[in-house]
């Protein structure tokens, strides 16, 4: 079983990925938050992230998002100039800011784009592609447009979140549709969605023993030790999880303190660390962290984690 850390915009930047790997030292494959075109060029912050020296120790795969063949071709060409050898195609982002412009999950049922994806993968044998999808925008069978074209190519894996875009991150998981994809795909399939505990991993592994791996995003942000617990076969006690999480947090905070200027920049950068961790750290500490307006109050809020 292979494990993948799904990218989350505003959270899993290069420093986060680096210190997560440094503290937890697992065999996760990490992905950059999606890279897109801006006025026909790569955004500077995207280039800075996926070329960062902090990416040197772990496996870090850049992910691109696109709305049509023109953007796809341009992005692949620009990434080739950066000498990438692995590339993930985001065809699953559910956020309206992207789907409203035809990107992310809005691409799954776009047959002309599916043909372009097949061609770009076929024409660039020097790049190892992977693809991440939702089942569709509004209907859970829209993937049926894309899959035949992917089946005519070789990709490292197809990661599937078994919801449609309009659901965002809540509501029914269409596990029957996921099973259909798993059955019909000639490429390895990775499961993604609602993995928060070792028991969730075990449940999905039992339901779908033929999956190539599991991808986790928000679940790892909330419980960074999750994959370590799974691979060790032992669920960590809460005290150990929090102690290690605080060590991870401190190393990341030290990095931002050295790199950024002023309390407001540091706080705005470090606060998202806890966004998905309410269940792990307790509501009292979580709310206090969220309200903290300066570094002193922030440190006091974080200290509440071990006092509950």
pLDDT in tens, 116-165: 999 999 999 999 999 999 999 999 999 999 999 999 999 999 999 999 99
Average pLDDT of every residue of the chain: 96
Exposure of 80 by Cβ count < 10 A (0-12 exposed, 13-18 middle, 19+ buried)? middle
CB count in 10 Å sphere of residue 27: 11
In this structure, the answer to whether residues 169 and 263 fall within a common structural domain is no
| pLDDT, position 122 | 97
In this structure, the answer to whether residues 216 and 242 fall within a common structural domain is no
pLDDT at 99 over 80: yes
Task: From 180, 207, 232, give the residue that closes a domain.
Answer: 232
Give, in order, the Cα–Cα distances in Å from 146 to each of 22, 219, 259: 37, 28, 43
| pLDDT, position 26 | 78
Q: pTM above 0.75?
A: yes
Q: What is the 3-state secondary structure (H, E, C) of 113-162?
A: HHHHHHHHHHHCCCCEEEEEEEEECCCCCCHHHHHHHHCCCCCCCEEEEE
In this structure, the answer to whether residues 160 and 271 fall within a common structural domain is no
- pLDDT (mean) for 280-288: 97
Residue 144 lies in domain: 2-232
Task: From 232, 260, 284, give the residue that closes a domain.
Answer: 232
In this structure, the answer to whether residues 291 and 178 fall within a common structural domain is no
- pLDDT (mean) for 278-287: 97
In this structure, the answer to whether residues 152 and 90 fall within a common structural domain is yes
| pLDDT, position 48 | 93
pLDDT tens, residue by residue, 243-272 = 999 999 999 999 999 999 989 999 999 999
User: In this structure, what token pair is assigned to residue 197?
Assistant: 């505990």
In this structure, the answer to whether residues 202 and 80 fall within a common structural domain is yes
pLDDT at 27 over 90: no
In this structure, the answer to whether residues 259 and 118 fall within a common structural domain is no
In this structure, the answer to whether residues 294 and 163 fall within a common structural domain is no
Task: From 208, 232, 256, give the residue that closes a domain.
Answer: 232
- How many domains, in total, are found in the chain? 2
pLDDT tens, residue by residue, 176-224 = 999 999 999 999 999 999 999 999 999 999 999 999 999 999 999 999 9
pLDDT at 308 over 90: no
CATH number, domain with residue 177: 3.20.20.70
Give, in order, the Cα–Cα distances in Å from 240 to each of 22, 71, 195, 225, 300: 17, 46, 20, 9, 21
User: In this structure, what token pair is assigned to residue 154?
Assistant: 């070789």
In this structure, the answer to whether residues 176 and 257 fall within a common structural domain is no
In this structure, the answer to whether residues 150 and 70 fall within a common structural domain is yes
In this structure, the answer to whether residues 196 and 243 fall within a common structural domain is no
In this structure, the answer to whether residues 155 and 202 fall within a common structural domain is yes
């Amino acid at each position: 079983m292979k494990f993948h850390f799904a990218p989350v915009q505003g959270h899993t930047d290069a420093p986060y990925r680096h210190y997560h790997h440094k503290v937890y030292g697992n065999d996760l494959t990490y992905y950059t938050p999606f890279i897109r075109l801006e006025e026909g060029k790569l955004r500077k912050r995207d280039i800075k992230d996926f070329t960062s020296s902090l990416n040197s120790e772990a496996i870090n795969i850049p992910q691109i998002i696109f709305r049509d063949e023109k953007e796809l071709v341009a992005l692949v060409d620009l990434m080739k100039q950066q000498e990438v050898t692995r590339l993930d195609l985001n065809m699953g982002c559910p956020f309206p800011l992207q789907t409203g412009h035809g990107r992310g999950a809005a691409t799954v049922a776009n047959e002309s784009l599916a043909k372009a994806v097949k061609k770009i993968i076929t024409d660039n044998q020097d790049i190892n592609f992977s693809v991440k999808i939702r089942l569709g925008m509004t209907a859970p069978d829209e993937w049926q447009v894309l899959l035949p074209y992917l089946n005519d190519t070789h990709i490292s894996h197809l990661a599937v979140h078994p919801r449609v875009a309009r659901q965002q991150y809540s509501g029914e998981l269409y596990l029957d549709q996921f099973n259909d994809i798993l059955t019909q795909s000639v490429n390895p399939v990775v499961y993604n969605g609602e993995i928060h505990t070792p028991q969730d991993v075990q449940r999905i592994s039992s339901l779908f023993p033929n999956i190539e791996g599991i991808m986790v995003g928000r679940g790892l942000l909330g419980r960074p030790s999750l994959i370590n617990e799974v691979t060790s076969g032992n669920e960590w006690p809460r005290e150990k999880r929090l102690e290690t999480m605080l060590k991870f947090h401190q190393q990341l905070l030290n990095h931002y303190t050295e790199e950024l200027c002023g309390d407001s920049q540091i706080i705005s950068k470090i606060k998202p660390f806890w966004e998905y961790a309410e269940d792990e750290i307790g509501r009292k500490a979580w709310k206090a962290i969220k309200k903290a307006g300066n570094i002193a109050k922030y440190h006091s809020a974080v200290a509440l984690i071990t006092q509950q």
